[in-house]
């Protein structure tokens, strides 16, 4: 790895581990939604790489839309205040919707999103999260698809960032700000 790109921290999940798990999730979604055309909603910016790889692992006719929500800003801890920065373009009425999330921390953002999206009348609404930070959730999240449970460390790579840096790393790293 180029030293300019080497992040401060340790690898938690390798590119190969991530790829293998996404193939499994794609097959599970393909089986669960047989003869349907689910709408994948990517939560920007962190989920864009994950959503692209997941979409290629699903053997169904799917559609895409994106939302951007903010609860972090440039910080490494959530502010607890969720706001929609970019809303959907597609009507959810009567659709089978899968929200594609990069990481679930406290679950507050997810709960806000779920309520907001359910109010738009989808036939079904599930969540496919790549990562869930262990021990951080406030209540049951009801996640149908989860890639990995990870320690409560702040992580970067594979679409996740700190102050917009490190999204392009192919692996997932624990972030140590004292080394940055």
pLDDT in tens, 78-126: 556 778 889 899 999 999 999 999 999 888 888 889 999 999 999 999 9
pTM of the model: 0.89
CA dihedral 70, 75, 76, 80 (to 10 degrees): -50
Q: Which residues are catalytic?
A: 105
For the chain, domain boundaries: 9-179
What's the CATH number for 9-179?
Answer: 3.40.50.2020
Tens digit of each residue's pLDDT, the chain (180 residues): 555 567 778 999 999 999 999 999 999 999 999 999 999 999 998 899 999 999 999 999 999 999 998 765 554 455 567 788 898 999 999 999 999 999 998 888 888 899 999 999 999 999 999 999 887 656 677 899 999 999 988 899 999 998 888 999 999 999 887 776
């Amino acid at each position: 790895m180029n030293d300019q790109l080497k992040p401060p921290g340790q690898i938690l999940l390798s590119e190969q581990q991530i790829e293998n798990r996404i193939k499994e999730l794609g097959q599970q979604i393909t089986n669960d939604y047989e003869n349907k055309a689910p709408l994948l909603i990517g939560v920007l910016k962190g989920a864009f790489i994950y959503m692209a790889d997941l979409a290629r692992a699903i053997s169904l006719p799917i559609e895409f839309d994106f939302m951007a929500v903010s609860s972090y800003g440039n910080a490494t801890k959530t502010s607890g205040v969720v706001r929609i920065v970019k809303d959907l373009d597609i009507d959810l009425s009567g659709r089978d919707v899968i929200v594609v999330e990069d990481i679930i921390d406290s679950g507050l953002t997810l709960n806000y999103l779920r309520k907001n999206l359910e109010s738009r009348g989808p036939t079904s609404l599930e969540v496919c999260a790549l990562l869930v930070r262990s021990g951080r959730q406030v209540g049951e999240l009801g996640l149908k698809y989860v890639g990995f449970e990870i320690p409560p460390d702040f992580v970067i790579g594979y679409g996740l960032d700190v102050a917009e840096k490190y999204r392009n790393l192919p692996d997932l790293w624990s972030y140590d700000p004292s080394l940055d």
